Amino acid sequence: MSASLVVTSEICCQSWSVTFKLRTVITLILLSLIALPSWAEAASKPKKNSALMVLDTLSVKGRAPKTGYSRAQFGPTWEDVDNNGCDTRNDILRRDLTRITLKSDGCTVLSGVLDDPYSGTSINFVRGVGTSSAVQIDHVVALSDSWQKGSFSWTVSKRMQLANDPLELLAVDGPLNGQKSDSDAASWLPPNKSYRCAYVSRQIAVKAKYGLWVTQAEKDAMRNVLKSCPTQLIPTS
């Protein structure tokens, strides 16, 4: 075989190899582009324990009468329900505050710093008359709201469990807690917009855990918040 034929053959083989590799790369790129929408769809689809999915499992009803409601229906304030030797208020303060100092009993929080989820600001907590109220423990699902949406029919024991459940409790800015009062998501949301997804997902988690219902306006408000965070998961503690 002449040298020119050998060179021509080698050039042809090299050209074919380059063309084959190029076609392979193009095919892989096209396949990835075709599959991309399904990947994106799967990533954005709410998961089984997402707030949106759990919200759809809650019963939707109107409010029951507030008749008969009082804080006493939920047992003594801040019991030691977990028998750890500390009352629930101080349990939550120890969980949610940083740089805490404790009384010699190892339970009572004397001071600390709260990164308040409702306002998005830091609050210095100092225990004492006229200062303790700066940080309050909020029932994320207001007890009055729970009464009007199912807990009126419970035993006192179950209502006490709800009132002291860490899932239901947050240390927050005192004045904002007072502003919220017994509102549901249809009539009050935290001013700190970046916390609203976490806030309504916690309300949904509590209502799902205890079988409380929502009103249609409340469900609509929750869904509207979760539009911006469709994969938000419900908390478990």
Alpha helices in the chain (DSSP H): 3-44, 51-55, 88-96, 143-148, 156-163, 174-180, 196-210, 216-226
The two three-digit tokens of residue 47, written as one number: 């998961």
Kindly state the DSSP code that residue 100 receives in the 8-state scheme.
E
pLDDT of residue 15: 55
Could you please report the per-residue DSSP string of 151-169? GGGS-HHHHHHHHT-GGGE
Whole-angstrom distance, CA of residue 118 vs CA of residue 191: 6
pLDDT, tens digit only, all 237 positions of the chain: 554 544 445 544 455 454 556 566 465 555 555 544 544 444 455 567 899 999 999 999 999 999 999 999 999 999 998 999 999 999 999 999 999 999 999 999 999 999 999 999 999 999 999 999 999 999 999 999 999 999 999 999 999 999 999 999 999 999 999 999 999 999 999 999 999 999 999 999 999 999 999 999 999 999 999 999 999 999 999
Answer yes or no: pTM beyond 0.85. no
pLDDT of residue 147: 98
pLDDT of residue 32: 54
Give the residue among 178, 229, 175 at the shortest CA–CA distance from 199: 229
pLDDT of residue 48: 79
Encoded amino acid at 73, one letter: Q
3-state class (DSSP) for residue 89: helix
pLDDT of residue 11: 46
Give the residue among 190, 95, 86, 197 at the shortest CA–CA distance from 137: 95
Q: Is the Cβ–Cβ distance between 110 and 188 less than 8 Å?
A: no
Give the residue among 91, 92, 88 at the shortest CA–CA distance from 74: 88
Whole-angstrom distance, CA of residue 202 vs CA of residue 206: 6
pLDDT of residue 107: 96
Whole-angstrom distance, CA of residue 40 vs CA of residue 45: 9
